[in-house]
Structure formats: structure tokens, C-alpha cells
Amino acid sequence: MLQKLLITGANGNLGSICRQRLGHIAKILRLNARRGLGEAGPNEEIVYCDLSDKAAVEAMVEGCDGIVHMGGQAVEGSWETVKAANIDGMFNLYEGARKSSVQPRIFFASSHHTTGFHAQTTRLDPSKSPTRPDGLYGVSKVFGEALAQMYFDKFGIETASVRIGSCFPEPPSHRMLSSWLSADDLISLIERVFRVPRLGCPVLYGVSDNQSTWWDNSSVAYLGWRPKHSSERFRAKLDAEQTPPHRDDPDAIYQGGLFCTDTIHED
């Protein structure tokens, strides 16, 4: 059991799931967001700060032997927004980990938008396939993966960079039948990241056992993670509710879907 697990972005979609379901792997959950976390539970600590505040982030990381990094900008945004949350914030988090009296193991919520411009006809191996980000958000996650690798090589900080697909109760589109990740499979993956004897610094896709997935995680089989759910049970419902995208539609061409058509946002 971990002594103290930090969950950043603990009021977000995935961070809230982690708050609800990871209490059993740590004696204390230290929860972070900029606002809106409510009252602390019996084994919870709440720390409000912005990830771009270096001193505050370093203080927050101190003493944590595990980090689930869900915080930051979660969708496409302007460069200033993405940079502050996902570039500066990532650097501040890892500097905190480097300086901490306890070296943490880190689960970094990367994104499949690091490879969004790959065609849906291409099967990707995260250890070999090149990144092809589909926006500034995707670029920031490529940076995060590179930063994690450097801090592992230079300082020994272990990180799993998990390119999360589409973690919703149900896939809301036909494209997401391939990228869907169930909440149960997300939690079981986080559990494995903190339980495996030696983690290293793998990059892998956070995706359930979907029939039509584009991603091959066989290079990280040593983690012992086996997703149990499949999106196939939602296909008939989607077919009844929606018309599948035309073959020339970006949602049918690119793994990143409509993210590939987004423009550069300005403040």
C-alpha cells in the first residue's frame, strides 16, 4: 500500500473516478484541483493550487510516494492555456518529484491525441510508432511523455505514460468504439502501475479490449494488465441512434477524428 497518493485534477471526469475508487491503494489520498473538491473524506487531504505555480506544486508533491496526474488542460485550447497547464505544469510536477524526500511513481494521463493523425487503418505499437499529434493539446502530451522519459533516465523516476482513449460510460460515437476505455479498466490499469515490482518508463494505450481497436499493447505485457471490457456491446445501440461517418469524414479517417480539423485557438 502507498503511504500518500496524489491525484491531480481530482474534480475532473477521470480524476473524480480516481478519487472514488483508489482509496484502497493508499493510506492517504492527497487531492488537487484549482477549486471544487468539497469536503475532505476520512483519508483525504485537499490541496488547491494551479499547476503553473511552481512553488505550490513542489510543496504539494512533497512526501507523496505515488502520483496519478490527471490535471491540466483536457481538450484543445490556446497555446497560452495549454502551455501553462500541460507544459509548465508538467515540468513543475516532475521538479517536485525530483526534489521530494520520497521518490514517487507516476501515472501520467497522456492521450491518444499524441498519435491522432495516424489513419484508422494503421495499427500502432506505442514503443515503435512515431507520434503524430493532432493539435496543441496532443503536442503538450508528446512533451509530457518526453519529459517523463528524461526524468526516468536522469533521475530514476518511474512513470507510466498512458495514452488514454475515450473514457466515458458508453462510447458516444462510432470512432470511439475503437478508442473506448471503461472506468473499471482504467482503475485496474492504475492498480497495476503501482503494484508491479519494476515499472520503468513505458508508454501504452489506455483502451479496453475492443474488437476494433487500433492499438497494440503487447510490448507492456509485463505489467500484467488485462482489460476486461469491450465496446462491442454498444455497437448496435450506436447504429440505431447514429449514422456511421462517411468514409471521407475525418471521424472515419483519422484516429484523432475531428481534433485533426481543429484550428489553432487564440486567447
Catalytic residues: 137
What residues have CB less than 8 Å from 214, skipping those under 6 apart?
A: 118, 120, 122, 123, 124, 178, 179, 255
Q: Grid coordinates 512526501 are at which residue?
A: 63
Q: Which residues partner with 28 through β-bridges?
A: 4
What residues have CB less than 8 Å from 24, skipping those under 6 apart?
A: none
State in Å, rounded, how far the first CA of the chain is from the last one.
43
Residue-wise burial string across 7-28, b where 16 or more C-beta atoms lie within 10 A, e elsewhere:
bbbbbbebbbbbbeebbebbeb
Q: Which long-range contacts does 43-49 make (Cβ < 8 Å, 24+ apart)?
A: 44/19
108 vs 68: CA distance, rounded Å: 6
Q: Which residues partner with 166 through β-bridges?
A: 180
The conformational region for residue 206 under phi > 0 = left, psi -120 to 50 = alpha, else beta, is: beta
